[in-house]
Amino acid sequence: MRKNVLKVLISVTCLLMVLAVALPMMTGCGPGTMKIGITQIVTHPALDANRQGFIDQMAEEGFVEGENVEYDYRTPEGDMTIAASIAQKFVTDKVDLILAIATPTAQACVQATEGTDIEIVFGSVTDPVAAGLVDSWDKPGGSVTGISDWADVGTQIQLVVDIVPDVKKLGVIYNAGEVNSKVQVDELKKVAPAMGITEIVEATAATSADVLAAAQSLVGRVDAIWIPTDNTVVSAFESVVKISEENQIPLFAADVATVERGAIGTPGIDYYQLGRECGQVAARILQGESPADIPVKKVDMTDLFLNPSAAERMGLTIPQSVLDKATEIVGE
């Protein structure tokens, strides 16, 4: 009888030991696993690259998905009501940190986490001060900091002038509800006159479904079109390409990923590298540093992407002097 009881106890002990090892492997989450919420306003290549760069850098920093980190990735696809719900879910789940990609989702997360101790790293936010995310670039304050995708608008518009030297009326399509886009359009209005551009013609799109109509409204009214790093417009960028090609309107954009999608070109930043820098900041926070003391950083503009085939479809040839400066020529 005692032998039978002893056998049962040994069997139960062995089973518990097996479960202790197997369950974390089955769930992918051990007892010390950190949970990180990731949200981006829409799906498009630049923001996707930001997210992947973050995950890759976090792994290099020792925070490996499936080992000691669990990611909860969600996108509202431009719907701010859903964006707010996602942010609130992260709060309810008591995540250890949030990566908020793009201005609207960062704003939703900051609002939802008010009064909690959840810290936020943002990425692909043009002006975090204007967006109300931080107190200042150098001293963010609070529980939020991150990496900006601020790009020099003057450098971008200079490319337009270099390729379309007779441009006088420049069209711009953007979502007036995106603070990041408003900042860029305001900057465009400041730098354009010195480059010989006499008029900025604005067309706004509140949703991706409005982008085609906004592009159509510029036909016959502009010499070229420039698109800022606007999440709404970039998510429906092919609509603008279609109108530009059909009507021979040169199209430029601030996001390097749009060049492969049909823009003539842009100087810009590497969003994958931006994501890696977000990962570096997140690792510092998870290791004990306060976001309040980590300055917001701007990523350097290091790239010049050009698409000669897109230019030809819009009735242009990119000058050789401009091609010689390219870091990447699409199609070669």
- How open is the CA angle 217-218-220, to the nearest 5 degrees? 110
Q: Which two tokens stand for residue 34?
A: 């950190």
**Can you name the CATH fold of 153-268+302-329?**
Rossmann fold (3.40.50)
Q: Which of 235, 288, 300, 284 is nearest to 121 (CA)?
A: 284
Amino acid at 6: L
Q: Look at residue 9 and give its three-state secondary structure.
A: helix
pLDDT at 278: 98
Which segments of the chain have a pLDDT < 70? 1-31
pLDDT of residue 29: 43
SS (H, E, C) 247-316: HCCCEEECCCHHHHCCCCEEEECCHHHHHHHHHHHHHHHHCCCCHHHCCCEECCCCEEEECHHHHHHCCC
Give the three-state DSSP class for 103.
helix
Give SS3 for 8: helix
Determine whether domain 34-150+270-298 maps to CATH 1.10.3720.10. no
Q: What is the pTM of this model?
A: 0.75
* Phi, psi for 173 (deg, rounded to 5): -115, 130
Backbone angles phi, psi at 205, to 5 degrees: -140, 115
- Give the 3-state secondary structure percentages of the chain, helix then strand then coil, rounded to 5: 45, 20, 35
DSSP string of 203-240, one letter each residue: EE-SSGGGHHHHHHTTTTT-SEEEE-S-HHHHHTHHHH
Q: What pLDDT does residue 12 have?
A: 42
Helix (H, G, I), strand (E, B) or coil at 185: helix
Report the alpha-carbon distance of residue 275 to residue 46 in Å, rounded. 10
Domains 34-150+270-298 and 153-268+302-329 share a fold: yes
Q: Where are the domains of the chain?
A: 34-150+270-298, 153-268+302-329
Per-residue pLDDT, 8: 42
Hey, is 110 helix, strand or coil? Answer: helix
Radius of gyration of the chain measured on its C-alpha atoms: 24
* Triad 128, 131, 134: Cα angle to 5°: 50
* Best CA proximity match to 145, nearest among 277, 233, 267, 57: 277
